[in-house]
Amino acid sequence: MRPDSDPPQARAPIGIFDSGFGGLTVARAVMDQLPNEDVIYLGDTARAPYGEQSIADVREFTMECLDHLVDLGVKALVIACNSGSAATLRDARERYSVPVVEVILPAARRAVATTRNGRIGVICTEATATSMAYDDAFAVAPGVQLFTVACPKFVPYVEAGITGGPELLADAEAYLRPLKAAGIDTLVLGCTHYPLLTGVLGIVLGDDVALVSSAAACADSVYSVLTRAGLAHDEPREARHTFLTTGNPESFSRLGRRLLPDLITDVIQFSEPWKGDWRERAWS
């Protein structure tokens, strides 16, 4: 491909932000949908988990990280964190000139298109549940009844590398019991860690309940936004994926490779002095 075949802005990377590791499921989905795109992923692992933080703190942390990604010259922002999306979406779209895509509205739209009986469940963190962001997202959908359950133990399981076993199964059965009793036929995985638990969720809920991944729905939205804006790479190219963390890069790399093999390359600690001009590298 000729180096000038895309406009300069299209050659910029996509910026993906998450409080920690869960957003890697979004990153994987975005890379699968848009394999020609450079990606810069920033995980705020030093201050994670966000699900236990106040909405005010989540907003502050998220906007700070989004500012850093914008400073690196990204062409679009992806808030790959349900808690961060709930706390900052309106502010982010008003603050930045680049497109902003989050995980809540795309998942809600997909769930509405999927449900047969209008009874939709959402599992999420405490912060997301408290924000009522999913209630707002579904408010305009006629005939939908929403049932939300916070599942605070699920993130620690995933980040410990536990995606099965009797203890996790017992907790999943306890969390999902009221949703089964409500007769839901669609469940939104309202935390980007949760797609890694689809096995145990499927066992508890059975085949009649459709699982809607906020990660996959978000990636579809990123594809649509970039394509419509003329910001997508049109031809095959070798994409570069950069992973930044505010925490320990070795720990991030180790857990990231365990959760999503072959996704993680080198991980850089965000607080380290930059080597070279990242904006120039991203746009080159």
**CATH number of the domain where residue 246 is located:** 3.40.50.1860
Q: Which one of 65, 81, 124, 151 is the catalytic residue? A: 81
pLDDT beyond 70 at 31: yes
Q: What is the pLDDT of residue 7?
A: 63
pTM of the model: 0.88
Percent of residues, the chain, with pLDDT higher than 90: 76
Q: Are 46 and 109 members of one domain?
A: no
What's the whole-number average pLDDT of the chain? 90
Q: Are 97 and 141 members of one domain?
A: no
- How many C-beta atoms lie closer than 10 Å to residue 251's C-beta? 14
Q: Are 112 and 90 members of one domain?
A: no
Q: Are 119 and 208 members of one domain?
A: yes
| Degrees to nearest 5, angle at CA 94 with 90 and 99 | 90
Indicate the residue among 215, 243, 260 that finishes a domain.
215
Question: Do residues 106 and 223 make contact, with C-beta atoms less than 8 angstroms apart?
Answer: no
Beta strands across the sheet bearing 186-190: 145-150, 119-124, 186-190, 210-213
Indicate the residue among 162, 186, 215 that finishes a domain.
215
Has residue 278 been placed in a domain? yes
d(Cα 56, Cα 73) in Å, to the nearest integer? Answer: 26
Q: Which one of 65, 151, 191, 218 is the catalytic residue? A: 191
pLDDT band, residue 8 (cuts 50/70/90): low
Give how far Cα 179 sits from Cα of 57, 104, 188, 224, Å.
30, 19, 11, 32
Residue range of the domain that includes 209: 105-215
d(Cα 183, Cα 222) in Å, to the nearest integer? Answer: 32
Average pLDDT score over residue span 100-128? 96
Has residue 23 been placed in a domain? yes
Q: What is the pLDDT of residue 231?
A: 94
State yes or no: is 151 an active-site residue: no
Q: Are 207 and 230 members of one domain?
A: no
pLDDT band, residue 6 (cuts 50/70/90): low
Q: Is the dihedral of CA 66, 227, 34, 114 positive or negative?
A: positive
Among residues 233, 268, 171, the alpha carbon closest in space to that of 10 is found at 233
pLDDT beyond 90 at 187: yes
Q: Are 117 and 252 members of one domain?
A: no
Q: Lowest-confidence range among 3-7, 14-18, 117-121? A: 3-7
Average pLDDT score over residue span 25-47? 95
Q: Are 195 and 66 members of one domain?
A: no
Has residue 151 been placed in a domain? yes
Q: Are 60 and 116 members of one domain?
A: no
Longest CA span, the chain: 58
Q: Are 72 and 203 members of one domain?
A: no
d(Cα 43, Cα 21) in Å, to the nearest integer? Answer: 7
Q: Are 207 and 118 members of one domain?
A: yes
Q: Hey, what amino acid is at 259?
A: L
Q: Are 83 and 224 members of one domain?
A: yes
pLDDT band, residue 36 (cuts 50/70/90): very high
Indicate the residue among 170, 198, 215 that finishes a domain.
215
Has residue 2 been placed in a domain? no
**What's the number of domains the chain is made of?**
2
Question: Do residues 147 and 77 make contact, with C-beta atoms less than 8 angstroms apart?
Answer: no
pLDDT digits (tens, 9 = 90+) for 124-171: 999 899 999 999 999 989 999 999 999 999 999 998 889 999 999 999
Q: Are 234 and 210 members of one domain?
A: no
pLDDT digits (tens, 9 = 90+) for 241-278: 999 999 999 999 998 888 788 888 789 988 754 444 44
Among residues 123, 128, 116, the alpha carbon closest in space to that of 86 is found at 128
pLDDT beyond 80 at 5: no
Has residue 188 been placed in a domain? yes
Has residue 53 been placed in a domain? yes
pLDDT band, residue 13 (cuts 50/70/90): very high
pLDDT digits (tens, 9 = 90+) for 37-80: 999 999 999 998 888 889 899 999 999 999 999 999 999 999 99
Has residue 3 been placed in a domain? no
State yes or no: is 191 an active-site residue: yes
Total number of residues shown for the chain = 284
**Torsion from C-alpha of 57, 63, 67, 73, nearest 10 degrees:** 130
